[in-house]
Amino acid sequence: MNQSESSNSETNYETALFETAPPETAPPETAPATRERILRASMELFGVRGFHETSLREIAERVGVSKAAVLYHFPGKADILGALVEPMLNDLAAAMANAAAAGPGRARWAAIEGMLDVWLEHRYLIRLNLQDVALATPGPAFARFRDAMLRANALVAGADPDLAGRVRAAQAVAMLSDPVVLFADAPVAALRAAVLDGVHRLLDGTAEPTAEPPPPARGRRGRPAAMSTAMIETARRMHAAGSSAGLIATALGVSRATVYRHLPPSAP
């Protein structure tokens, strides 16, 4: 047995125990439902405790199986993370391929919108640090992530960019992920519109005309007239980042008047 394949001593020890266990104690050879439950539980625990602070024992307990069963499906904790990241990497590669095929006049915004849609789809995964996720996963995950980011920067910068153009492209790509992490629980459509509005302001100096979605239809009782402390803090962060009161109201599910009451007096 090559114990160097494991990501930590706990995995080494438990893999050895599993490999020497009697055949009758091993989990079934095919159990996709158990594998999916392991992935869901791991994502929940990684999101709350972090990858390094989550143990295989905790994952097993959350799923309701033995650690040997977890190791049957995944040789180590890093392999679990790799399985979680794989769909995001596939989506990112596909988005950049589609952007490259969109043609010179459309490639920049196809890359920006494509990458933003990937971040929104996998927004709870990217609450973990993206580079740490890539570095912690086995195999070529980091290289795939790096290559996709470099391709995105090239598409956004356009043909033969100067230094300022390359810097703005890097800024535009970088600004796609932080709002998704900070406001992962906001309505996706409103969050997407607010992020694209900010990118348009950076690259073009103007807001995207369709960035602000219409307010949702009022229910019988209308939208809430009060905001919690957490909502007020979120509203102020969004305003400081350049979001309009309308976008903030849509994201938080309150009226514009309610938002205005909690913004600084100079807010437009």
CA distance 261 to 248: 12
pLDDT digits (tens, 9 = 90+) for 171-209: 999 899 888 888 888 888 888 988 998 898 888 875 544
Indicate whether 230 pLDDT > 80: no
Task: Give me the pLDDT at residue 17, please.
Answer: 40
- Of 170, 66, 43, 36, the residue nearest 111 (C-alpha): 170
Task: Give me the pLDDT at residue 143, please.
Answer: 80
For the full predicted model, state whether its pTM sits above 0.85: no
Question: How far does the chain reach from its first CA to its final CA, in angstroms?
Answer: 66
Task: Give me the pLDDT at residue 189, please.
Answer: 87
Q: What confidence category does residue 19 fall into, taking pLDDT thresholds of 50, 70 and 90?
A: very low
Q: What confidence category does residue 5 fall into, taking pLDDT thresholds of 50, 70 and 90?
A: very low
Q: What confidence category does residue 60 fall into, taking pLDDT thresholds of 50, 70 and 90?
A: very high
Q: Within 10 Å of residue 53's Cβ, how many Cβ atoms?
A: 10
